[in-house]
Amino acid sequence: MGREYIYLDNAAATRLDERVLEAMRPYLFDTYAVATSQFGYSPGIDARDALDDARARIAAVLGATPEEFIFTSGSTESSNLALKGVALALGEKKGRHIVAGAIEDFAVLHSARALERQGFGVTRVRVDEDGRVDLAHLRESITPETILVSIQAANQEIGTLQDLQAIGEICQEKDTLLHTDATHSFTRVPLDVRAAPVALVTVSAHTVHGPKGVGGLYVREGTPIRKWMDGGFQEFDLRPGAENIPGAVGFARAVELVTPEETARLRGMRDRLTERLLEISHTRVNGHAVHRLPHNANISFRFVEGESLLLHLDLRGFAVSTGSACFSRSLEASHVILGIGGNHERAHGSVRFTFGRFNEEGDVDSVAEAVTEIVRELRRISPLGKE
């Protein structure tokens, strides 16, 4: 993909940084032994050393100890391990009730649904019109049988950040564990697990210009959790299977390459794009105006179908994402937009623009001009309404 195509869907996946690839290369072609071979020969010892080093570097960014960080295949597996692992550990001891946010990503929502089929009760906590958790509803949702609360750090579509401190204090008061999916905020929004009242945190490399297929789960020392998948004894006997050492090394390098200055640059581009797009009539921002991801702009355009806008942008060389049902395998409109009180028209007309390291300042004006022209033309021929 050359510069003629402008990629603005960095919440879905980011381009691998060449410096990350260089860090991974030796473990793809030279030190390719598995880490569990450490007791047999030197290449296995080298592989184990690389894995331990990567673990320590990522854990340090979280404020965790290396022993509290589990490598996984990505955010989906991490969240599955968090919910199902705690359910296996505590379901028969404390209770069979889970609390989750209403607009979580599918890894959490579908894991909770799977536990429901196994007889667990699940309460889905309401959010306000900006996507922030209703703290009063959260408090009343937690019962003595609640074993885990899962509330995301940041929403994958509208970018809203949650007040993890307030949420965590409620969980501590109610003596229940808190898991947060930080896939979209990790490295962009500070999170220190030594200060935040969280027991489990999902993270992934694919959103920080690292490789796909590797992620992690922070598990606070002493948190009751059991292995979810059957197999070997890797990852402190919580995640069986041959370790993805090149992925782990790449993940660590990617995490360290993110800087506050870069994040500030992305925030500036997001703000300029939002300002430009709101000049178009009948538009609105989805998500919190202040407490939101620094690289996320989610806008709804009335009288326009999101998939039409997306396809026209693609023809002009831009990649974005939409909450329209036509781009969902379930053929359902965005559960996030509906969850914050939006109607189907607002969901179908929503478009997400997310910036990354390889976007340039000129991308803002280019996509803003294209969107303005396309929206004007689509509204001219739309049966949905006229200005």
Three state DSSP letters for 96-115: CEEEEECCCCHHHHHHHHHH
Q: To 5 degrees, how large is the angle CA 104–CA 108–CA 113?
A: 110
pLDDT tens string 252-301: 999 999 999 999 999 999 999 999 999 999 999 999 999 999 999 999 99
Return the structure tokens found at 159. 């970018």
pLDDT at 326: 46
Question: Annotated catalytic residue: which of 45, 326, 338, 378?
Answer: 326
Buried b (16+ CB within 10 A) or exposed e, 3-40: eeebbbbbbeebebbeebeebbeebeeebebbbbbbee
Q: Which residue has the higher pLDDT, 161 or 42?
A: 161
What's the pLDDT at 1? 47
CA proximity to 36, closest of 218, 237, 252, 212: 237
3 pLDDT more than 80: no
> Helix, strand or coil for residue 327?
helix
Which pLDDT band, with edges at 50, 70 and 90, does 36 fall under?
confident
> Does the pLDDT of residue 323 top 50, yes or no?
yes
* Whole-number percent of the chain with pLDDT over 70: 95
Please give the pLDDT value at position 382.
Answer: 77
Q: What structural domains does the chain harbor?
A: 18-257 (3.40.640.10), 259-381 (3.90.1150.10)
Supply the pLDDT for residue 139.
98
DSSP string, 261-319: HHHHHHHHHHHHHHHHHTTSSSEEE-S-SSSB-TTEEEEEETTS-HHHHHHHHHHTTEE
- pLDDT per position as a tens digit, 375-384: 999 999 877 6
pLDDT value for 325 = 47
Most distant pair of Cα atoms in the chain: their distance: 73
Mean pLDDT over each residue of the chain, to the nearest integer = 94
What's the CA gap between 154 and 342, in Å, rounded? 19
Q: How far apart are CA 75 and CA 82, in angstroms?
A: 10
pTM of the model: 0.95
Neighbours of 117 (CB within 10 A): 7
- Tens of pLDDT, residues 189-240: 999 999 999 999 999 999 999 999 999 999 999 999 999 999 999 999 999 9
Output Rg (C-alpha) for the chain, integer angstroms: 21
- Residue 35's pLDDT is 86
From residue 45, how far is each of 23, 36, 37, 42, 68 by CA, in Å? 18, 8, 7, 5, 21
At 2, the pLDDT band (50, 70, 90 cuts) reads very low
pLDDT, residue 33, reads 87
Q: Read off the pLDDT band of 332 (50, 70, 90).
A: confident
- Return the pLDDT at 387: 46
Residue 326 known to be catalytic = yes
